[in-house]
Chains A and B, each alone.
Chain A
């Protein structure tokens, strides 16, 4: 089987999300990559070094600069003449693009896979991760998005991919990129952080969130996350949100502070290796999944904890 992997990048470097997809793709067969964007030579060179990669298709055109699905989907469809499967990370980009490709190819997509059972059979979570379905695809071509935390990351060195330019498909002319606001953070990115400190509604205010969560995260070198309740209340920006409708994370250590543990939140973090919960309610559902729990008032516990680390 020949697979085509969407390379997630920021115009300069390959994003980590791509590496897990390469691992999933290598379980299906030969791995080819697609680097689409504008001025992406450096990204292509970096992509070619990923272990296990064969060909790197490069599509360099202004139409692909912001990965608009309307423009990149026809490009992928063109390349699918020569590939049996298309895999993208289940990032906002991957989720935006892959279904459009699937529809153009008249194929049903398999979203957010957790494992590759065989060439046509995969597992994926449904009902906010409360059930795992094994699905078999009857389509000739497979269109798949991959849950990054479910696969090991491919090595970024050691590959000897060959770079090849592909014919561009131009601008469909129905959409225009206007601009973006990317939250700046010096902390590790949530989806790749080894440790995450996450705060919930119990923090009470945005000021308290930063006053209590940030220093602890800095002490641990951790990324900062938040529950949907904390985000909705405006304590933290929405790209901090961990859960079914936010980011799915699986760090080594997840510290849930003042988070009750609604199923929406658990769906985003219950595959973490170790879960630590701090909550004043000893019956909070979060304690049912936590490896280490501490019952008490977070306003007293956090300053003490940060001080003692």
Chain B
């Protein structure tokens, strides 16, 4: 069984984004970039499924040439080979989904596991779009994945609790935070990953038009909250709550 895991290179989640002075976007020059945290969970899940019938894990990334570092990280975690689709221009989820569809058509994986959202654009779209384009089942926000023959049963985190669905394979899964704890790549595995195969492609190789449909007109800082006051003790806090009408 083959699993495809798309991964994205994003601003490291510990770094506070700086907005460019001209309002054109977030400044990504000389800042730490990492694999999108949800994608690490997706890679980890694919690796864990290796005991359960998964024989090959292919990771793919779409973006600038430097995304190959992200792919090397996934290979060091335990993926078998990588596909890099180079586009120095930003590709939107719809374009990514179309490229992934083309790759799925070629590679014919039984399962595609993605992160539920990327922490830069916060879109939460790509997995669902890919499932729609392929006409296959989708299980979003997965917190548990169980493979059984030609189907997969997924527990999903939904508002108010959890929900379980069974999907026919091939299927698309997007993962939530609580699915697993991703492993760190060991030094020997990082060395080994350097010799694992990585194919270099471009959107044109797949005949996919990835021109953007959304124009970003400006990016600004959110409104700042005005500085608050510190109260000295509980009595003062209770008095404040009473003036606010929160408590009688």
Contact = CB atoms under 8 A, between A and B. Distances in A.
A125 to B, nearest CB: 7
Interface stretch (B42-50, B66-74, B116-124, B189-197): B116-124
B137 A70 contact: yes
B213 A178 contact: no
B162 A108 contact: no
A126 B23 CA distance: 13
Interface stretch (B102-110, B198-206, B240-248): B240-248
| Secondary structure class of chain A's binding surface, majority of residues | mixed
A309 to B, nearest CB: 5
Interface in B125-165: 125-133, 135-141, 143, 153, 156-165
Interface of A: 66, 68-70, 73, 91-93, 95-104, 106-112, 121, 125-139, 172-183, 191, 195, 219-220, 228, 232, 237-239, 244-245, 247, 252-253, 263-264, 270, 274-276, 282, 287-296, 301, 304-305, 308-309
Given A275-B228, A294-B230, A127 B137 contact: no
A129 B16 CA distance: 11
The 6 A-B residue pairs with the shortest CB-CB distance, nearest first, are A99-B128, A103-B132, A108-B213, A103-B129, A99-B125, A174-B137
Given A175-B137, A220-B246, A294-B230, A102 B122 contact: no
B243 to A, nearest CB: 11
Contact of A180 (B13, B164, B220, B221): B164
A100 B160 contact: no
Contact of A100 (B138, B217, B234): B138
Nearest to B160: A182
Most buried by A among B117, B220, B237: B237
B159 A92 contact: yes
A169 to B, nearest CB: 13
B167 A133 contact: no
A270 B222 CA distance: 10
A130 B92 contact: no
Interface stretch (B1-9, B81-89, B171-179): B171-179
Nearest to A101: B132
A131 B17 contact: yes
B165 A294 contact: no
A181 B159 CA distance: 11
A93 B141 CA distance: 11
A101 B160 CA distance: 24
B217 A136 contact: yes
B78 to A, nearest CB: 23
B132 A100 contact: yes
B54 interface: no
Contact of B138 (A70, A129, A293): A70
A301 B234 contact: yes
Nearest to B92: A108
Contact of A309 (B94, B128, B129, B247): B247
24 contacts: A73-B132, A99-B127, A99-B128, A100-B131, A103-B128, A104-B133, A108-B213, A134-B219, A135-B215, A175-B168, A177-B163, A177-B164, A195-B246, A219-B247, A244-B119, A244-B122, A291-B225, A292-B228, A292-B230, A294-B234, A294-B237, A296-B233, A305-B234, A309-B247
